[in-house]
Amino acid sequence: MLEIINLHAEIDGKKILNGLTLTVKDGEVAAIMGPNGSGKSTLSYVVAGRSDYKVTGGDVLLNGQSILELGAHERAAKGLFLAFQYPLEIPGVTTMTFLKASINAQRKQRGEPELSTPDFMKKVRAAAAKMGVKDEMLRRPLNVGFSGGEKKRLEILQMVLLEPSFAILDETDSGLDIDALRIVGDGVNSLRAKDRGFLVITHYQRLLDHIVPDTVHVQSQGRIVKSGGPELAHELEKNGYRDYVAAAA
Amino acid sequence: MSPQQRESAVTRVEAEPVVATVSVLKNEAELALADLFSKKRGLFIGSSEIALRREAAFARFAKSGLPSKRVEAWHYTDLRAALRIPLPIAEFPDNAARALARPCIEALRAADPQPVTRFVILDGIFDAELSTSHMPAGVSVTPTCNSLIAGEQRAVLAFEAGGLGENDPALNLNEAFSVSGVLIDIADGAMIDQPIEIVFLSSGAHRHAIYSRSSVRIGEGAVARIVERRCSNSSVGIQRNEALYLNLGDRAIVRHVAIAEADRADCIDIASTLLDLKEGSELTSTSLVHGGGLRRRQIFGRFNGPHARCSLRGVVLLGGKEHADTTIVMEHVAPNCESRETFNHIIDDEATGVFQGKVSVAPEAQKTDGKMKSRAILLSETASMNNKPELEIFADDVTCGHGATCGSLDDDQLFYVQSRGLPKAEAEALLLEGFAGEIILEIANEQTREVLMDDVRAWLSHRALRGN
């Protein structure tokens, strides 16, 4: 469960989050929608622990425990995962090496033994096949020269392998064609479980056709201005964000 | 540019050798070197032709003096300031030197058990006992000193080295003072699968100056793998100045790996590699260079025939107060050749990296394709990098470019890796490993690749330990 309580955050003295409050329960898929500049990506960065954002008030609890004092890697080991809007290219590090380093870094922090190479390979191959990620891609440097769709698929593959207890998907639909959207949607749906929550950040309704949310929230000017069920997404698709931008101002 | 202008521009460049702008006032080191040369000149081995070459080389050196900051080609590596007292020239290795050298060679065998044909230049002198005795078919070898004594033409060729780098003061000293090294010949059409490794080893038995001159002739259409390894066992500061001439015949293909192990802070190490590329030949070179007190790796290459290709790639790892300079001059004098230089530096603490790459294209070298890229990651506020890419183009139909970057690790990449569970230090190490890997993973031979990556990982984990 993720609880964001009256969260205030800024970067370079500029306030981005202004008392944002949101709870996503275990098993719940919550969607955050909102216009450009409403601080959606900032929210994902702040929760994931990016250090150049300064939290000036409020708290974030993961499974009942405050994570604001933890580094990004510690939050990851506690089960938080962020699928990036723009996944980074890591030249010179093969995807396979990166995946193994990530999994074992988390296991080490949790006091679990490292995965053996054969166990790891088995796990990766099975997950990759499901995500339509070819072996050849796993041998290439992570995200280097990958298409937008391939990068997003790799994000979901990482999520499947790291088995987080809470995942944030930051505009995972951007840059995806219809087929890739379905694969990504299936990947997320396959992980839906009663002990796992999701926060899906998106501009558009179309991702939510594949990943049907339990709750939909509208973010504007750094806080949640409206919450509802899946029907809210349809309403936004039809009417736009204008009313909410005005409401927040 | 009109043809006349081009012509005059070329003439101007040739008329002004790079080293011509130094003061004539000799310092103590230069006087000592002149004294040493005049005492030794009658005693050097070699034919009269070699003797004349030594005289001419020393005369060029005497004219230029030791290069200081004021010499453009040595601007970032002030040899004049570093070499205050020239050490006596190394004698023939004694038992003490041998005893120190043997474990080094054994360690090399243990680190990389794949079979190699190994030639050891111990303190500047070819050492048959430490070298492989059984040659693969198509490979023949002569110590440089034997060839000099016998007055062979191939010794002259090795000293002449196609005139490459003849205005470089360090190389002139090398030509004046070298009496040994190894001359390797790979027969035309030979396919040599087993790597040929030349180990330049300094035993550390004595405090001295080491000069050596070696060459490898790779015959027409021959294929070979060559490893150039510089190791130092020194417990004392020494001065090294060693040169290797790689002479590729038409359509020869060479995969070259150069490794320079870390050296002491009080050592001066100048390694010159001279590349002579004939028609259709291909050289792919990957290097992994650690630092030293003053280390300079200089490569002088020339495309002497059309359709030749040369790719020089390298990783340089520096920490402490180390200094390493990579200076490359590639001359395109034939058309349709391709040159690539790609260097990645990782620099920590107060270390200094230098990359100078010059691609010059003569008027007749049309369709030249030359690209240069140097990137550096600085890991501390006090680390520094000097990048100087240079293009000198006198042909009008060429594709040439260069790029140089210098900066710290990328924050976005760091956060990305940390968000996957890696603590900051491990995330940094992974990114740095990748930065080195971009260069090293291009090596075709998997075992060599892994040996070099292990070397990088060891350096990174050593760095992490120092940080704690």
pLDDT for A176: 84
Q: To probe the interface with A, which of B420, B428, B438, B446 has the most A CB atoms within 10 Å? A: B420
Phi-psi region at A12: left, alpha or beta (left = phi > 0; alpha = psi -120 to 50): left
Residue found by looking up tokens 């080293």 in the block:
B19
Amino acid at B112: D
Residue B240's nearest CA partner among B196, B203, B281 is B203
Beta strands A215-220 and A141-142, pairing class = unpaired
H or E element in which residue B50 lies:
helix B48-64
- A70 close to B (CB below 8 A): no
**Cβ-defined contact of B434 to A93 (cutoff 8 Å):** yes
CA dihedral B58, B62, B63, B65 (to 10 degrees): 120
- Contacts for B234 with CB less than 8 Å, ≥ 6 apart: B202, B203, B204, B263, B264, B267
Is the CB of A174 inside 8 Å of chain B's CB atoms?
no
**Can you read off the two tokens belonging to residue A154?**
């790799």
Which CB contacts under 8 angstroms, 24+ apart, belong to A125-134?
A: A127/A157, A127/A160, A127/A161, A128/A157, A130/A160, A130/A187, A130/A190, A131/A156, A131/A157, A131/A160, A131/A183, A131/A187, A132/A183, A133/A157
Cross-chain residue pair A77–B421, CB shorter than 8 Å: yes
| Nearest by CB: A102 against B410, B420, B424 | B420
pLDDT at B24 over 70: no
Task: Assess whether pLDDT exceeds 80 at residue B12.
Answer: no
Question: Tell me, what's the pLDDT at B467?
Answer: 65
Residue A177: the pLDDT is 84
Give contacts of B416 with chain A, Cβ < 8 Å: 84, 87-88, 90
Beta carbons of A102 and B430 less than 8 Å apart: no
Q: List the structure tokens of A4.
A: 């964001």
Tell me if B163 sits within 8 A of B13, measured CB to CB: no
C-alpha span between B427 and A163 (Å, rounded): 20
Two tokens, residue B205: 């038995």
Q: Count of alpha carbons within 13 Å of A181, Cβ hemisphere only?
A: 16
Return d(Cα B100, Cα B141) in angstroms, integer. Answer: 25
The residue with greater pLDDT, A212 or B467, is A212
Distance between B413 CA and the closest CA of chain A, angstroms: 6
Q: Is the pLDDT of residue B13 over 90?
A: no
pLDDT of B112: 80
Are A49 and B421 in contact (CB < 8 Å)?
no
Residues of chain B with pLDDT > 90: what percent?
84
Q: Do A102 and B412 touch (CB under 8 A)?
A: no
Nearest to B419 among A72, A92, A141 (CB): A72
Does position B28 have pLDDT exceeding 70, yes or no? Answer: yes
- Res. B113 pLDDT band, cuts 50 70 90: confident
Do B166 and B60 form a contact (C-beta atoms < 8 A)? yes
Q: Which pLDDT does position A246 carry in this prediction?
A: 65
Q: How many C-alpha atoms does B284 have within 13 Å on its Cβ side?
A: 12
Check B416 against A93: CB less than 8 A apart: no
- Render pLDDT for B167-205 as a digit per residue (tens, 0 to 9): 999 999 999 999 999 999 999 999 999 999 999 999 988
B215: number of Cβ within 10 Å: 25
Nearest Cα of chain A lies from the Cα of B466 at a distance, in angstroms, of: 21
B131, B138 contact by CB (below 8 A)? no
pTM of the entire predicted model:
0.91
* Nearest residue to B280 (alpha-carbon basis) of B339, B364, B336, B224: B336
What number of CA atoms fall less than 13 Å from residue A53's CA on the CB side?
A: 26
Q: Which residue, chain included where needed, has tokens 């951007």? A: A174
Three-class SS of residue A191? helix
C-alpha B125: how far from chain center: 18
CB nearest B433 (choices: A45, A52, A92): A92
pLDDT, residue B236, reads 82
Contacting residues of B for A146, CB less than 8 Å apart: none
To the nearest whole Å, the CA of B314 is away from the closest chain A CA by 14
B201 Cβ neighbours under 8 A, 6+ residues apart: B101, B104, B105, B120, B121, B122, B123, B231, B232, B233
Q: Which residues in chain B are contacts of A93 at CB distance < 8 A?
A: 430-431, 433-434, 437
Q: How far apart are CA A26 and CA A198, in angstroms?
A: 8
Q: Which residues of A touch B412 (CB under 8 A)?
A: 88
Residues of B at the A interface, defined by Cβ within 8 angstroms: 410-413, 415-424, 426-427, 430-431, 433-438, 441
On chain B, the residues whose CB falls within 8 A of the CB of A49 are 418-419
User: Cβ contacts (< 8 Å) between A84 and chain B: which residues?
Assistant: 416, 419
Integer Cα distance of A232 and A39 in angstroms: 19
pLDDT in tens, B46-84: 999 999 999 999 999 999 999 999 999 999 999 999 999
Number of alpha helices (DSSP H) and beta strands (DSSP E) in chain A: 10, 12
Q: Find out whether B146 and B182 touch, Cβ atoms under 8 Å.
A: no
Taking the C-alpha atoms of residue B279 and residue B193, their distance in angstroms, rounded to an integer, is: 22
DSSP-derived pairing of the beta strands B384-393 and B352-361: parallel
Distance (Å) of CA B26 to CA B67, B241, B369: 12, 21, 42
Mean pLDDT, chain B, rounded, equals 92
To the nearest whole Å, the CA of A106 is away from the closest chain B CA by 5
Identify the band that residue B437 occupies on the pLDDT scale cut at 50, 70 and 90.
very high
Query: HEC states along A98-145?
Result: HHHHHHHHHHHHCCCCCCCHHHHHHHHHHHHHHCCCCHHHHHCEECCC
Contact B379, B347 (CB under 8 A): yes
The set of residues, in sequence order, having a beta carbon less than 8 Å from that of A74 and lying 6+ positions away, is A49, A67, A109
Residue of A nearest to B439 (CA): A92
pLDDT of residue A249: 56
Residues 6+ apart with CB under 8 A from A128: A134, A135, A137, A138, A157
B6 confidence band (pLDDT: 50, 70, 90): very low
- Cβ–Cβ contact A83 with B under 8 A: no
The answer to whether residue B15 scores a pLDDT higher than 90 is no
Question: How does residue B212 score in pLDDT terms, banded at 50, 70 and 90?
Answer: very high
Q: Are A95 and A154 in contact (CB under 8 A)?
A: yes
* B15 CB-contact burial (10 Å; exposed 0-12 / middle 13-18 / buried 19+): exposed
Nearest CA in chain B to A93: B434
Length of chain B: 468
Identify the burial level of B51 via C-beta atoms within 10 angstroms of its C-beta, where 0-12 means exposed, 13-18 middle and 19 or more buried: middle
With CA atoms as reference, report the closest residue to A170 among B164, B120, B415, B125.
Answer: B415
State which residue of chain A sits closest to B440, comparing Cα positions: A92
Average of pLDDT values for B200-214? 94
Contact A73 B430 (CB under 8 A): no
Select the residue of A50, A82, A105 nearest B426 (Cβ to Cβ). Answer: A105
In B133-267, the DSSP E strands lie at: 139-143, 182-186, 196-202, 209-218, 223-232, 239-248, 253-260
CB contacts, 8 Å: A155 with chain B: none
Residues in chain B closer than 8 A to A87 (CB atoms): 416
Say what angle helices A95-109 and A148-162 make with each other, to 10 degrees: 30
Q: How far apart are CA B170 and CA B243, in angstroms?
A: 10
How far A36 CA sits from the closest chain B CA (Å)?
21
Q: DSSP string spanning B52-116?
A: HHHHHHHHHHHHH-S--TTSGGGTTS-HHHH-SSPPPBP-S--HHHHHHHHHHHHHHHHH--S--
Quote the DSSP letter at residue A196: B
Q: Which residues of chain A, if any, have pLDDT below 70? A: 246-249
The minimum CA-CA distance between B189 and chain A, rounded to whole Å, is: 35
The H or E element spanning position B173 is: helix B169-177
- Could you tell me which residues come within 8 angstroms of residue B82 by beta carbon, excluding any fewer than 6 positions away? B268, B293, B294
Q: Cα distance from B439 to chain A (closest Cα, Å)?
A: 8
The per-residue pLDDT for A179 is 83
Instruction: Choose from B422, B435, B449 for mutation: most chain A CBs within 10 A.
Output: B422
Tell me how far the alpha carbon of residue B186 is from its chain's centroid: 21
Report yes or no: A9 and A16 within 8 Å, Cβ to Cβ.
yes
* Tens digits of residue pLDDT in B236-271: 889 999 999 999 999 999 999 999 999 888 899 999
Residue B50: burial class (beta carbons within 10 Å; 0-12, 13-18, 19+)? buried
